[in-house]
Structure 1
């Protein structure tokens, strides 16, 4: 399909506006026009913003906006309105390219004072060089649509070079003709296997020291996501978090972290040797969901720990809850604390006004995003965005290279390049479709009478209801309580009978994730399945509440110190099948994570108390669908690794 690119010409001067639209469209007919540029007309008032936000053909295909600043003798209010329109447009859709039409350079000074960051270029309105303007706009679109790494990879594969280097399958040749594994060649595809290359190909640059096409692609990504620097990661956001931790924290440095952060954050604490201050998150006890850390808790922690170097938060959460980040980040910065935001589930937010502001727009120093979760990148493909004014690029690169593979998968890098291009060129249209499907599914699922999509007020724990928390509408949490189904039964019925795989479940909810890959057909099939299951409803169940995770206790030593000791393994249950009292007061060596939801109940160095032992015992005995990561199976029983008394005595006190 050939792309269509709309250029919106905004001016209060109707005659001049029509002349520009006509001239640009005439140039589009005569000149090379691979992106299908076409100019449209719009008055310089609220209609311009409406056009930018519209999801019809005009708004969906819009890539460039030309705003006329007006003649020198025009009404001052009209000229100010033109600048204000520019600000509103770029605030709503920062991925659009914005050009201003000026009388002379004195106008440019005024515009730059008001909207310098928003403007990509200028034309002088009296010149009316429509062919020249068209070429510049076409080049602007071509730059946005460029995929330097993907293009280089595709071109290299097309050259059909003989492979005398890694990987061992030689571009897929080892699979061909094999009676044992030949089907893998057909399943994966020839192009994918030919694109599985090694660092021996200099044209494809180096992820560990990019100076060519990878560097170019990362620069385009930084511009798209509003970062000073962007780095591609092929080991997921898990590795991205660890890289930032090791770059910002030295052994013994204090950091503040949301206890319900992803386990990679807790692994980063171990690797960095930092001294963590764990912030207990809010909890929705009825649905077994973890929410954000209350603002009051964050504020108190910042005041109590003036020595803290870093604050890390997760926004949005797995269930779509978003912090009001701007006041939190301002508070941290005032105390000299760097802010990292794990945006693994929120990498799409930049490209639709309903989802913004992003963490970077709120002032975060670092944001990590799982591009593969919500955009079109392959699994494991992530990005690290940097806006830290004190960024030490050399130190960051050394830590990045410590974790990155020297043999990165090139198709993952290509998918990041393509995902960025798609987000910039059509992300608004695709996300608007996803949001529309989300609203539709809410209405249809609620209409079944057996299932109900939870709203923000349902999800928010009481302690954060005044914290300005917002909800990502593309994550639907469904209360199944009235249906009579258990969550495990319902999940199994959906996958086995209707071929529908949900994102996750708790004891009384299901979570659905809508992305730019959600289609009308998928929405229809899901609703049909929910409707049929609603008709099979049973008497409502009395759900046993999930055991409530105990609050954080205290650290006896640094997590790194506890983790690297040998320790000893003690059973979670005693000979009578009861919580083992021998664990009381001992210090854990490992991270113990019930999954789902994936929130550590113990971290290395933490003192174990009776409530924690009882919690783990109850999970082992009653919650068969919950995995307990970090426990050791020994002689058929689950054990916990704890410090020996002499090991604890020898370690530095916290």
Structure 2
């Protein structure tokens, strides 16, 4: 059962409810228009329309446009029985809201021609459209005072202002937070004095969507504290927003944390113009893109090209008779911006002092890190930079075995000893889950018992996985730090760059948790909690809380910006929240950064990272929420359609995460007969959660394997691109670029595929039906084994019997072709049954899933051979079928074993070989 069961809704979020409510109102008003006046049907319909207005009014009170005053005007038209004008106006408003066109001209709701129709104006007097945003004012004021505030701000606004905004007033603490959740147009918050806590507007209509607000109970707090407290919560839920505080409290009586919370504090006596200018300045500062702007300015300069790039300025392209089509395709600006210069407003990636340095500082602020570094050759390189920067030969790293291959190669470069952690298997769908926390702790305690805990440098995990599994980052970090208080965490968030811009996701991101735990462990409240925890431990029980006198927060996140946010391909960032960075890691980090970064970085990638940062600071919240909404809509549409669920199943939480890792009990996001379950509790409590934007479709009932389905149906027939398949699944992803039309296109494509499958089955002969039945059975009932990591051969164990393997030693030993041989796959099992131990001399990486099943120095197990034999993927990197499995020769292993034992102190003995 789900704890604290929350109300379900037929709509996933408030945006979906809002637009569908306006569409319903439009339809019902159009129907009302057709009815004869003052008839029973007309009166009944009018009352129904009134009820719709009441429902919408609750939601619209949290938005500046179309505004409560406009809602009142529409209801007055209804009371005057002006049904035709009402239907027409509501149709226009609905179109503007659905299309978002009102943002280009927010005054359109106030502009009417003589016929009473809304007039859409394109741009301003200078022909340019201003960016529009909304400002939330929080104060318990009268309607007359609200109108005066709006009037005063309108008076100080000018046509020369770079941005356009309207204000929305909320009169309570709860309403302010609800507005922040509902209204993505809000870019600044002004808290005027101390608002009362409780809302008077919460109804059953909005209650299912505000669980995070309702779970906060601040009613017992003194009202004088609610203003500063609200400011801190704004920074927690939507940290990108500018916050301002208006108070009469003297500077001497303002608390330090209040001063730190707000961008600026005003006093009532100050002119409203100063507030207006400050709001615009805050937006302007975030709007800056230092490096992108520098590249644009550089492209306008007339220059003589006497450096190493003929393509610069496009001269070698547009003058060519043979490649000028290349220039026409990409456009002249691409070539005007190409340069190898680091002057003239540009900067050096390897030693930034100007625009790039500022761009990275702004990215650091946006992503919540202490330091952020741009990388132009992908997160594969980012991963190798971090590993090589932080670990040295002989250090021990705990690493999930099914992480990206770049981490394994990073270990080879660094010479670290990996202790591989196994994710739990999901054999039914031929994929792996994530690593349970208990296994991480077990490995650490084994190393501690062997006296090697001091060598453990890093825990490396993939968050979220390709399939959408997300760790409870806070719980993992806290309990691991309780055992090893100075361990470094590397969270590979290649598919999770968007997580920092909506609250549920943010709680499970590396940077957010690092900042949270750092503040927590420095507090006196935590010290009391820790001492109480230690006092209550039973004999032999392992602490779950770290010692505040020893703990150090050292967290790194690598993110493929180009995968889930706006950036050119290979655009990546490294985010650092390391309180010892300057003292312990900065020098080695910069060396590793320069080792792996080109001295000729792609400036277009760097400019895209800068522009992408601006985007997420202004519309990241909105776009991420929309991508989640579209994923949820697609899930529901497939589940609800009988033709689609005949062949397809959308896998959900219960399919991916065993019960024991789901304390909340939440098993699925959506049920056709119930609606949407809220996911807030699960994302707060459960050991693992499933990112709903990763939509895994089980296709076993089609009788078609994943790779064939991807190529034959999705790509060849509909040009639908996807990244990942398994034996019986295909993975769809929504992101900030996904549109409603693309979701509709995919949905229609699946319907057509289902029709085609129906037609094929009707034409099958009895023999073909039997073949299909066997294929379906194979894909839905017969599951190939998913092997765990076996263990490192004793020749390549760091210390005999203790977790940790010398992967670099094994990798470099294979440089000499005399040291290895090939064994055909079909001969492996007979050879092993005769007593031979086969040891891999290379990485063996099936794609998909794209992670090693064998690494250099690993013993080949029977389970791994069975897995490789059963695989039906098109690529296995490191394996050549015509030659066989590449393994070390026996005499080389014996020689290596002797060398290894001579180099070991031999003081540690274990009964079983460990991973």
Alignment TM-score, normalising by the size of structure 1: 0.92
Q: Give the aligned partner of residue 837 of structure 2.
A: 585
Superposed CA deviations along residues 550-592 of structure 1, whole A, max 9, x for unmatched, are: 2222224211111112253432416869665499424323221
Pick aligned residue for 1:64 from 181, 188, 200: 188
Structure-2 separation of matches of 1:217 and 1:39: 30
Matched residue of 2:778: which SS?
coil
**Shift in Å, 1:173:** 1.9
Q: Give the aligned partner of residue 548 of structure 1.
A: 785
Q: Give the aligned partner of residue 886 of structure 2.
A: 640
Structure-2 separation of matches of 1:108 and 1:397: 44
Structure-1 separation of matches of 2:413 and 2:462: 20
Worse-matched range after superposition: 341-350 or 572-581: 572-581
Q: Does 2:401 align with 1:277?
A: no
Pick aligned residue for 1:367 from 539, 557, 563: 557
Matched residue of 1:60: which SS?
coil
Superposed CA deviations along residues 118-151 of structure 1, whole A, max 9, x for unmatched, are: 4222112x22311112222211111111100000
**Shift in Å, 1:256:** 0.7
Structure-2 separation of matches of 1:456 and 1:279: 22
Structure 1 residue runs without a partner (length 5+): none
**Shift in Å, 1:461:** 4.4
Structure 2 CA distance for partners of 1:605 and 1:488, relative to 1, 3 Å: closer
Superposed CA deviations along residues 168-195 of structure 1, whole A, max 9, x for unmatched, are: 3233222224343232212222211222
Structure-2 separation of matches of 1:117 and 1:333: 29
Pick aligned residue for 2:356 from 205, 214, 223: 214
Q: Does 2:596 align with 1:403?
A: yes
Matches within 5 A, 1:81-92: 81-92=226-237
**Shift in Å, 1:420:** 0.7
**Shift in Å, 1:3:** 1.0
Q: Give the aligned partner of residue 650 of structure 1.
A: 899
Pick aligned residue for 1:34 from 159, 162, 173: 162
Structure-1 separation of matches of 2:830 and 2:599: 46
Matches within 5 A, 1:75-86: 77-86=222-231
**Shift in Å, 1:20:** 4.0
Pick aligned residue for 1:597 from 849, 860, 885: 849
Q: Does the 8 Å CA contact 1:502/1:512 hold for their aligned counterparts?
A: yes
Q: Does the 8 Å CA contact 2:571/2:605 hold for their aligned counterparts?
A: yes
Q: Does the 8 Å CA contact 1:572/1:617 hold for their aligned counterparts?
A: no
Matches within 5 A, 1:384-403: 384-391=574-581, 392-403=585-596
Superposed CA deviations along residues 525-563 of structure 1, whole A, max 9, x for unmatched, are: 111001111223356612344532322222242111111
Q: Give the aligned partner of residue 504 of structure 1.
A: 724
Pick aligned residue for 2:704 from 476, 485, 501: 485
Structure-1 separation of matches of 2:835 and 2:248: 78
**Shift in Å, 1:163:** 1.7
Matched residue of 1:204: which SS?
coil
Q: Give the aligned partner of residue 629 of structure 1.
A: 877
Q: Give the aligned partner of residue 257 of structure 1.
A: 399
Structure-2 separation of matches of 1:33 and 1:233: 35
Matched residue of 2:841: which SS?
coil
Matched residue of 1:100: which SS?
strand
Structure-2 separation of matches of 1:50 and 1:427: 18
Superposed CA deviations along residues 379-423 of structure 1, whole A, max 9, x for unmatched, are: 110111111101132221111011100000000000100111101
Structure-2 separation of matches of 1:535 and 1:506: 23
Q: Does the 8 Å CA contact 2:838/2:887 hold for their aligned counterparts?
A: no
Worse-matched range after superposition: 204-213 or 465-474: 465-474
Q: Give the aligned partner of residue 653 of structure 2.
A: 456
Residue correspondences, number: 638
**Shift in Å, 1:246:** 1.4
Superposed CA deviations along residues 261-306 of structure 1, whole A, max 9, x for unmatched, are: 1111111111111111111111111011211101110121222232
Structure-1 separation of matches of 2:375 and 2:506: 24
Structure-2 separation of matches of 1:22 and 1:76: 33
Pick aligned residue for 1:122 from 256, 265, 270: 265
Structure number with bigger Rg: 2
Superposed CA deviations along residues 183-240 of structure 1, whole A, max 9, x for unmatched, are: 2212222211222211454531110001100000001101111101101011111111
Matches within 5 A, 1:410-489: 410-446=603-639, 447=641, 448-449=644-645, 450-461=647-658, 464-466=661-663, 468-489=687-708
Superposed CA deviations along residues 428-470 of structure 1, whole A, max 9, x for unmatched, are: 1112221221111011122222222111111124664455211
Structure-2 separation of matches of 1:442 and 1:609: 39
Pick aligned residue for 2:141 from 13, 17, 30: 13
Structure-2 separation of matches of 1:202 and 1:560: 44
Q: Does the 8 Å CA contact 1:92/1:353 hold for their aligned counterparts?
A: yes
Q: Does 2:822 align with 1:571?
A: yes
Matched residue of 1:4: which SS?
strand
Q: What is the CA RMSD across the aligned residues, in angstroms?
A: 2.5
Structure-1 separation of matches of 2:370 and 2:501: 18
Structure-2 separation of matches of 1:195 and 1:35: 27
Q: Does the 8 Å CA contact 2:387/2:414 hold for their aligned counterparts?
A: yes
Structure 2 residue runs without a partner (length 5+): 1-128, 196-219, 448-452, 515-553, 664-685, 762-771, 797-805, 907-915
Pick aligned residue for 1:339 from 478, 483, 489: 489
Matched residue of 1:309: which SS?
strand
Q: Does the 8 Å CA contact 1:579/1:614 hold for their aligned counterparts?
A: no
Structure-2 separation of matches of 1:577 and 1:340: 36
Matched residue of 1:208: which SS?
coil
